[in-house]
Amino acid sequence: MSGKQMKILLAIDPFEKKFKPSRAALIDLHQWVKRFAGRVEAVYVLSESDQDPRFNQTYTHAYDQLKKVVDDLHFGIPVPTKVIWDNKRDSHHASNALLEHAKLMGADLILVSSRGRKWMSRMVLGSFAENLMLKSPVPILFFGLAPILHSGFHRVMFPTDFSPASKIAFKQFLNQVKAFDPDLLILNVEQYPGIISGYSLTGVGAYLPEVYWKIQKEASISEGEAWVDEAARAGVRARFLVEECGTEVASIIKRVADQESIALIGLASVRTELDRLIMGSVSTQLFRSSKYSVWVFGPHAFEVSKQINQIEKQHPSEMSS
């Protein structure tokens, strides 16, 4: 992001009483904006019918509430506020309206608070935050609402499975957090099965030798060190940690985050909506906890980045100009 203003779209529900970011997170958000000499714009999507005789009154009230919330956040810089009207009145259309505004604004990051609806409500009604994560062409930062005792975003973590999506997300994450001069922990969680890893054709348990997992761990450490070098080239101090687990990756990430006093977790999330419904998602489990701020690089952001990378490779001179 060097040499370029960073534009942040702050999605706020001014009627959500739980929107109370920790003081440390707010301080670092202010520093983030100032260090990039960037711009923040606050937006609320109003989903109401314009046929309602009270529509104008509702719209004005929403705008006044939004402005009051923004003023109470004390950014110290002018923060334009805007109420976007969406008459479809469901979470998917509301998030689409917000993304359209983000596109017009040229936003580099969307910052949003999620209430973390219960699973039945999400399945039936959908979730504004999750739909936003699926479709956004830029990273989403979900604010951690729980108070934190340590100092903001100076200790950050990036869990990775070393996938292509995670590598692209990692580069974007480095660009967007290096202004904090953070200490970065790169975490790889190796999902080792139990002693029995499967069954042979005869139905007898298939046992994998212990040396297999030793080789896997050594390969992870070697790859992790390459990621540490990548962070150093971007000007970010980093170290690598590999952890073993059975199936609950999110619980391992949260345990390490607690032990390391992590305030911000960045990761790629490329699963589809159906995948999450069946299997769950590490990123959604993390941001619903509201304990950490979670930076998420979603599936559409990954596709957009791939297209940009292809164009840069095919027409490097045009992109540089």
Give how many domains the chain has, as a whole number: 1
Write out the residue range of the structural domain in which residue 100 sits: 7-320
Taking only the tens place, the pLDDT of each residue in 116-133 is 444 333 333 346 777 888
- Mean residue pLDDT of the chain comes to 75
Minimal CA–CA distance to 73: which of 156, 10, 123?
10
- 21: domain CATH number is 3.40.50.12370
Which of helix, strand or coil describes residue 207? strand
Query: Does the residue 1 lie in any domain?
Result: no
Domain-located, residue 32: yes
The Cα-based distances of 39 to 102, 114, 183 in angstroms read: 13, 22, 25
pLDDT at 23 over 90: no
Q: Which of 33-37, 244-248, 258-262 has the lowest mean pLDDT?
A: 33-37
Beta carbons within 8 Å of 186's beta carbon, 6+ residues apart: 157, 158, 160, 224, 227, 228, 231, 238, 239, 240, 241
Q: How far apart (Å, rounded) are the C-alpha atoms in residues 152 and 180?
A: 9
pTM of the model: 0.80
Residue 223 pLDDT more than 70? yes
Is residue 260 in some structural domain?
yes
The stretch 168-186 carries a mean pLDDT of 90
Q: Has residue 287 been placed in a domain?
A: yes
**What confidence tens digit (pLDDT) does each residue in 74-94 have?**
777 788 999 988 766 555 678
Are 77 and 10 within 8 A, CB to CB?
A: no
Within a domain: 2: no
| 41, part of any domain | yes
